Structure formats: C-alpha cells, structure tokens
Amino acid sequence: MQLRRDPITQSWVNLEDEGEDHVRHKDAPCPLCPGQVNESAQTLYEYPGGGSIWQVRVTPHLHPIYRIEGDPQRRAEGIYDKMRSLGAHEIVVENPDHDVQLSRLSDENVAQVLRAYLARMNDLKRDRRFRYVTVSRNHGATAGGEFDHPHSEVTATPFIPRRVGYELRSSSRYFAMKERCLICDIAEQEISQNIRIVEQLGRFVAFCPFAARVPYETWLLSARHHCAFEEDLTAWDDQLQFARLLKSVLKRLEAVSPTYHLVLHSSPNVGAKFQKSDIWRTLADDYHWHVEILPVIPSKARSYALKEVYYNSLLPEAAAETLRNV
Ligand SMILES: [Zn+2]
Ligand SMILES: [Zn+2]
Ligand SMILES: [Zn+2]
C-alpha cells in the first residue's frame, strides 16, 4: 500500500498493489457481531467499559487502508511524490445488534456513538504525525460498505483530504475579506430564507446546500460557530440534541435513498508536525465543522456524460421540501 500525489491537483491517492478484495462469503458469520472475529481485536474505546456488555466499541479496522506504525517516509520518484500509507483506520461498531441501524437506535445510544467519535478524534489528534482526523459512514451496499453490521470509520492521515483543503482555503479567504465565517453566513441565510431547511433542532440545523452535488445532499451543522466538532460537542445535552437531529435526518434520507455516504468535516490537526502555523492564523474563526451526507442514487445517463462536472437532476429546494414532508 502506498500514497501517491497527483502532481496536478496535489491530492493524495491510495494505491494498493494487489487490489485485495475483502468481500465476505455470504454464509460466513459477520466479523463485527459480538463473539465473532473482531472480538479478539484490540479495544480502542468501549462503552460501557468495565467488563459489562458493550454498546459501542472501537477497534482497529480488520482490513486497514492505513497503517499506524512508523513514519510517512516521503520519497521522490523524479518529479513525483510518494509516501507510505501511514495513518489510522478504525472501525466504530455502533451497536451489538447486526440488524439495528443507527437511525433506529435510541437518542442516548446515538449520542454514545457521537461520544466514541469525539474520544477517538481527540486521541488521534494528539499524534503529531497526523494532519487530519475524520469520521465517515457508508450506509447500504452500493455506498461501498464492507460490512453489513452498522458501523462508522475513523481515519487519521498525514495529509489533508482535497475537499477539506478547498474548504479551508475558501474559508480563510472569505474571512480575510469580511472577517466573518463563511459557513456561519451560509447557515444564517439558509435559516432566514427557509427554503432549503430540512429540520432545525435547538442550535443545530440540517439543510440541502444551494449547489447540491447529488439529489438530497444534506448538511448538518451547528448555527453557533465552532471550528472543531470534537471540541464543540463535549456536553451531553448537545450530544443528545445533535443525535436527535442526525437520527431524524437519516430516517428522512433512508425514505428516499437506501444508500448514502456520510462524512464529518472538522478542523485539521493544528498540532501536527511541520504544520506552518501562519496558514492557520484565523482557522479557529474561519473554519466551521459540519457533516455532509451524500445519498447514492442511481444516476441518470446525463451524469455519466458529464463526469467532470456534477450534474444533479433535483433542485435542493425541491429535495428539502420532500425531506421535510417524510
Ligand atoms: Zn454483525
Ligand atoms: Zn462559523
Ligand atoms: Zn465539508
């Protein structure tokens, strides 16, 4: 496994020599169910701890994309850059029951899953080799989920993913111009216009973004500014309220799309090695954490013809209306 940098876009690409296929045999038992293969994996986080039966458990991924040991060993190959696929790749088993999806758990249990995210993100951010830590979740077969068992993944990488890089650059540019946070401004306008809002709960809001890339793309965020999810969502009441909104939005989305990809965008690791501090001078004020959910809906022929540009056949205003009425 190695990482290579695309010299044009500057984004890192994961490359695997053998292209190993980890598709599980239909009849094989689920490795994430209690008592199965994953039970013997190292426990990185568990709730409740102390020997009682776990409700949420985090372990290293069974087939990790990244390896935690060693240094990135950055090397050149002529004009190209490559490095080892150093990083952390963990699996959050969201509940012991194979058939109960996140959206069907109790509010308290979903809040406990969020707590597991927080704990792992904070722990991995203490590792100065990692510039970025995030959580993602694939739901449904075609979203690329490796296991059917309800789970999320935590990854830590020695680089900042490309889309987050775009966000960081536009957020700091916007802040330099206006001394305001871009996403705070977006949230404020969405709330006052109230045409793309899916749901609002206390300080948290879910809406379909103005330039949605796919039908029913939905973002969840706090209308109150904070750059880092893992520092903002520390109080149980906030965790519970965000859990309620997340559950509700997932139920709405599941009614229109059986598969989706969820990703959490939070502040990069400012304590990482070789991180030029002046880049992050206004980071705490200009970046704003959010969750992006991209449903995977069988696309119409046109989106294939225009692969280089997003083609979305559903206006976000109409998508939000459908989701509100679910
Ligand atoms: Zn299972
Ligand atoms: Zn903000
Ligand atoms: Zn984002």
CA of 326 to the centre of ligand 2 (A): 29
Strands 80-84, 75-77: pairing kind: antiparallel
CA of 151 to the centre of ligand 1 (A): 9
More confident residue, 256 or 25: 256
Task: Return phi, psi of residue 198, to 5°.
Answer: -95, -45
Lowest mean per-residue pLDDT among 18-27, 148-157, 200-209 = 18-27
List CB-based neighbours of ion ligand 3 within 5 Å: 265
CA of 232 to the centre of ligand 2 (A): 12
Hey, which residues does 220 pair with through a beta bridge? Answer: 206, 291
Judge whether residue 303 has pLDDT over 60.
Answer: no
CA of 191 to the centre of ligand 2 (A): 14
Mean pLDDT of 294-315: 72
Reported as a pLDDT band with limits 50, 70 and 90, residue 78 is very high
Cβ-contact 174, 284 below 8 angstroms: no
Q: Which pLDDT score is estimated for 143?
A: 60
**Nearest ligand atom owner, CA of 149:** 1
**Nearest ligand atom owner, CA of 38:** 1
Residue 92: CB atoms within 10 A of its CB come to 21
Cβ-contact 324, 207 below 8 angstroms: no
CA of 31 to the centre of ligand 1 (A): 6
CA of 206 to the centre of ligand 3 (A): 14
Q: What is the pLDDT of residues 269-288, one digit of tens each?
A: 988 887 666 768 899 999 99
CA of 53 to the centre of ligand 3 (A): 35
CA of 181 to the centre of ligand 2 (A): 5
CA of 165 to the centre of ligand 3 (A): 9
> What is the C-alpha separation between 136 and 52, in angstroms, rounded?
27
CA of 166 to the centre of ligand 3 (A): 9
CA of 150 to the centre of ligand 1 (A): 8
Q: Which pLDDT score is estimated for 22?
A: 60
- Walk across the sheet containing 151-157 and list its strands: 45-47, 56-60, 88-93, 151-157, 132-139, 260-265, 290-295, 218-222, 204-207, 197-201
The chain-wide mean pLDDT, for the chain, equals 90
With CA atoms as reference, report the closest residue to 28 among 120, 147, 192, 163: 147
CA of 238 to the centre of ligand 3 (A): 21
With CA atoms as reference, report the closest residue to 223 among 196, 171, 283, 183: 183
Hey, which residues does 47 pair with through a beta bridge? Answer: 56
**Nearest ligand atom owner, CA of 168:** 3
> What is the C-alpha separation between 191 and 223, in angstroms, rounded?
9
**Nearest ligand atom owner, CA of 98:** 1
CA of 256 to the centre of ligand 3 (A): 22
Judge whether residue 251 has pLDDT over 90.
Answer: yes
**Nearest ligand atom owner, CA of 136:** 3
**Nearest ligand atom owner, CA of 187:** 2
* Top-confidence range, 119-123, 257-261, 267-271, 274-278: 119-123
Q: Which pLDDT score is estimated for 309?
A: 73
Q: What is the pLDDT of residues 48-75, one digit of tens each?
A: 987 778 999 999 998 888 888 878 888 8
